Structure 1
Amino acid sequence: MDKLMLDCIVVDDEPMAANLVVNYIEKTPFLNLRGKFHNAIEALNFVSENPVQLLFLDIQMPDLTGLELSKMLPKNAKIIFTTAFDQYALEGFKVEALDYLLKPFDYAEFLTAANKAKKWFTMLESSSGLNTSTESDFLFIKSEYKHLRIKLSDVLYFEGLKDYIKIWLKNESKPILTLKSLKSLEEELPKNQFMRVHRSYIVALKSIEEVERSQIIINGKRITVSEQYKPDFLNFINDNSLS
Structure 2
Amino acid sequence: MMENIKIACIVVDDEPMALELLKRYVERTPYLLLQGTFNNGIEVLEYMENHTPDLVFLDIQMPDLNGLQLSRNLPEKTKIIFTTAFDQYALESYKVNALDYLVKPIDYGEFLTAANKAKSWFSHHSKDNMPAVSVSDSNVNKYIFVKSEYKTLKINLADILYIEGLKDYVKIYIERQESPILTLLSMKKLEAELPDNEFMRVHRSFIVSLSKIEEVERNQIVIRGNRITVAEQYKSAFKLFLENRTL
Q: CA deviation at 1:115?
A: 0.4
RMSD (CA atoms): 1.3
Pairing 1:36-185 to 2, within 5 Å after superposition:
36-125=37-126, 128=127
Q: Find the aligned partners of 1:55 and 1:103 in 2 and give their Cα distance.
A: 16
Q: CA deviation at 1:129?
A: 5.1
Q: Post-superposition, which runs of at least 4 consecutive aligned residues in structure 1 deviate over 4 A?
A: none
TM-score, with structure 2 as normaliser: 0.51
Q: Deviations over 1:92-123 (max 9, x none)?
A: 01000000000001000000000000000000
Q: Find the aligned partners of 2:33 and 2:109 in 1 and give their Cα distance.
A: 18
**Residue identity in the other structure for 2:57:** F
Q: Deviations over 1:37-56 (max 9, x none)?
A: 00011011112211100000
TM-score, with structure 1 as normaliser: 0.51
Greater relative CO (CA pairs within 8 A, separation 6+): 2
Q: Deviations over 1:188-227 (max 9, x none)?
A: xxxxxxxxxxxxxxxxxxxxxxxxxxxxxxxxxxxxxxxx
Equivalent residue pairs, number: 128
Q: Secondary structure at the match of 1:9?
A: strand
Q: Structure 1 vs Structure 2: percent identity of aligned residues?
A: 60
Q: Find the aligned partners of 1:115 and 1:50 in 2 and give their Cα distance.
A: 23
Q: Deviations over 1:9-32 (max 9, x none)?
A: 000000000000000000000000
Q: Deviations over 1:150-182 (max 9, x none)?
A: xxxxxxxxxxxxxxxxxxxxxxxxxxxxxxxxx
Q: Find the aligned partners of 1:9 and 1:56 in 2 and give their Cα distance.
A: 6
Q: Find the aligned partners of 2:82 and 2:49 in 1 and give their Cα distance.
A: 19
Q: Secondary structure at the match of 2:62?
A: coil
- Structure 1: gaps (5+ residues): 131-243
Q: Quick check: which has more Rg, 1 or 2?
A: 1
Q: CA deviation at 1:63?
A: 0.6
